[in-house]
Structure 1
Amino acid sequence: MRDVLCVPLDEKTELVFAADCSGGIGLKQHDVVQVPYDVVGYYGARVALMELMSIGAIPKAFIMQNFVSDDVWGALISGIEQAMRELQLSLPIVGSSESNMPLMQSAVGFVVAGTVTIDRKKIGVTPYDACWAVVGEPLVGEDVMKRKNRVLPLSLFRELLQLDGVYEIVPIGSKGIYYEWKLVCGDRPIHCSLPLHASAGPATCVLISYDRKQESLLRSIAQTLFYPIVNKL
């Protein structure tokens, strides 16, 4: 199971949706993490786009639900567009703002719609003898801002998408590495130097499966963000 919804369009193509949300993060008095709204928009868009693109889908449109105020719409859009630029995308954006009821904390919803052809869909395509690794580190809240150099850059994510020999890419979210590993690999054991149950917040890292022959290249590309997984069969 992956964090996307796939709806058949015809025999060869599926409509794909990916979503993320942000709460208590912004510049309202009661927000838990205080950051500008372009940052909120950037990281929310980042998660939704990564989820959709990781299965081989092509993004077509972006939808935002803004529960903060009309005043922050422009800043949120600015952050979303920054994420798109880093992924070399240009998508139409539509959305709505809650302007009737003021909330005490910030809240924003993000949805990406796209399409994927069934022959290019990257779910459940990893050979049993493939190698696994985590790229990036699990970070959440203020640590995302304090340790930006340990967050998987979108430019590197895009490079991984295009690299031959990378079978699947699974963005890690708030439930941590072990949760995503269990969904993909079941009860196979996992050994990694990273904390397996720590939240990765806005997909600060990804789980990847790959051909062993590509490990040297992957290490050279990801450098210190590459954390191999040892699974004893």
Structure 2
Amino acid sequence: MRHELKIDEWVITSDNSAAIGEKTQDAVAAPDRVTAKFAARVALLEQWAAGSEPEVILLHNFSGEAQWGRYVEGINEQFKEIGIKTPQLTGSSETNMPTLQSGVAVTMLGRQKRELPAEGLQWFIYGKPLVGPDVLNKREQIADIRKIYDALNKGIIERVWPVGSKGIASEAERLLRRKLDLSEEVDSELSGGPASCVLIGVRPEQIRAMKQHFGVYVYSLETETPR
């Protein structure tokens, strides 16, 4: 479940993963680097959802001292993927008690940089909801975070909203604060896992450019009313 905290001009976002990693008793086997990368992805998308950019990263490593370097590598990889330098990074590791399963959390502190228009936008789904092994096996269906970053900076889209474990329907209602007649192009009840799909808000005059920019896996959020 995603949470966001604002303190004055600061925006604080966080994501965590448990029992996903390289330990023998993990429920989902995945490279530690990939686990941390996806945790960073969610926290970063939540920063953008608030119109902010991260300035500090806190890494909370419950897996053990050996995993620290691999987690840092994954976070760096996420920022390299979008073409920007990794913000300042600090944190801590559990080194006193051995754990049987992996556990990691990534917290980002940022400042608001962009206005968040609420009116006059049409909303779309980009990417497909995926969770567990599907995140690794169907990567082509995951929303491309570099494309999202470029679309925000170029004004192709105005807003982005990551979809978490409660699915598209829950996030859409939370975002728009009304009941929606959702399109059936994508299952709106499935978990979005590590924000494998996002909601994007677009001005009507930019819809064509948006579809050209993202290419595939773009779907209307709501069922279009017949004219």
Of 91, 96, 99 in structure 1, the residue corresponding to residue 95 of structure 2 is 99
Q: Verify: 1:210 aligned to 2:202, yes or no.
A: yes
RMSD of the TM alignment (CA)?
A: 1.6
Residues 193-204 of structure 1 correspond to what in structure 2 (within 5 A)? Answer: 193-204=185-196
Q: Secondary structure at the match of 2:216?
A: helix
Q: Contact 1:190/1:232 (CA < 8 Å) preserved in 2? A: no
Deviations 1:41-79 (A, max 9, x none): 111111111111232212101001100010111111000
For residues 173 and 219 of structure 1, the distance between their equivalents in structure 2, rounded to whole angstroms, comes to 23
> Match of 2:88, as an amino acid?
P
Q: Verify: 1:188 aligned to 2:190, yes or no.
A: no
> Match of 1:91, as an amino acid?
P
For residues 148 and 165 of structure 1, the distance between their equivalents in structure 2, rounded to whole angstroms, comes to 24
Structure 2, gaps ≥5 residues long: none
Deviations 1:179-230 (A, max 9, x none): 1111122213222410101111111111012111111111111111211123
Q: Verify: 1:71 aligned to 2:56, yes or no.
A: no
Deviations 1:57-111 (A, max 9, x none): 1210100110001011111100000011123132111010011111111110110
> Match of 2:66, as an amino acid?
D
For residues 228 and 32 of structure 1, the distance between their equivalents in structure 2, rounded to whole angstroms, comes to 34
For residues 209 and 186 of structure 2, the distance between their equivalents in structure 1, rounded to whole angstroms, comes to 21
For residues 91 and 18 of structure 1, the distance between their equivalents in structure 2, rounded to whole angstroms, comes to 14
For residues 121 and 6 of structure 1, the distance between their equivalents in structure 2, rounded to whole angstroms, comes to 15
For residues 133 and 188 of structure 2, the distance between their equivalents in structure 1, rounded to whole angstroms, comes to 19
Against the structure 1 CA distance between its residues 16 and 79, is the aligned structure 2 distance closer, same or farther, given a 3 Å change threshold? same
Q: Verify: 1:111 aligned to 2:103, yes or no.
A: no
Against the structure 1 CA distance between its residues 192 and 222, is the aligned structure 2 distance closer, same or farther, given a 3 Å change threshold? farther
Deviations 1:120-159 (A, max 9, x none): 342xx221x5311001111111101100101012211212
Bigger Cα displacement from structure 2, 33-42 vs 165-174: 165-174
Q: Contact 1:192/1:227 (CA < 8 Å) preserved in 2? A: no
Q: Secondary structure at the match of 1:29?
A: coil
Q: How many Å apart are 1:165 and its aligned residue?
A: 5.3
For residues 225 and 107 of structure 1, the distance between their equivalents in structure 2, rounded to whole angstroms, comes to 31
For residues 147 and 187 of structure 1, the distance between their equivalents in structure 2, rounded to whole angstroms, comes to 30
Identity of aligned residues (%): 30
For residues 130 and 92 of structure 1, the distance between their equivalents in structure 2, rounded to whole angstroms, comes to 34
For residues 53 and 190 of structure 1, the distance between their equivalents in structure 2, rounded to whole angstroms, comes to 24
For residues 224 and 218 of structure 2, the distance between their equivalents in structure 1, rounded to whole angstroms, comes to 19
Bigger Cα displacement from structure 2, 46-55 vs 59-68: 46-55
Residues 46-57 of structure 1 correspond to what in structure 2 (within 5 A)? Answer: 46-57=41-52
Q: Verify: 1:224 aligned to 2:216, yes or no.
A: yes
Q: How many Å apart are 1:160 and its aligned residue?
A: 2.4
Q: How many Å apart are 1:232 and its aligned residue?
A: 5.7
What TM-score comes out, normalization by structure 1 length?
A: 0.90
Q: Verify: 1:158 aligned to 2:158, yes or no.
A: no
Matching residue of 2:36: 41
Q: Contact 1:31/1:105 (CA < 8 Å) preserved in 2? A: yes
Of 49, 56, 59 in structure 2, the residue corresponding to residue 61 of structure 1 is 56
Q: Contact 2:16/2:104 (CA < 8 Å) preserved in 1? A: yes
What TM-score comes out, normalization by structure 2 length?
A: 0.92
Moved over 6 A (4+): none
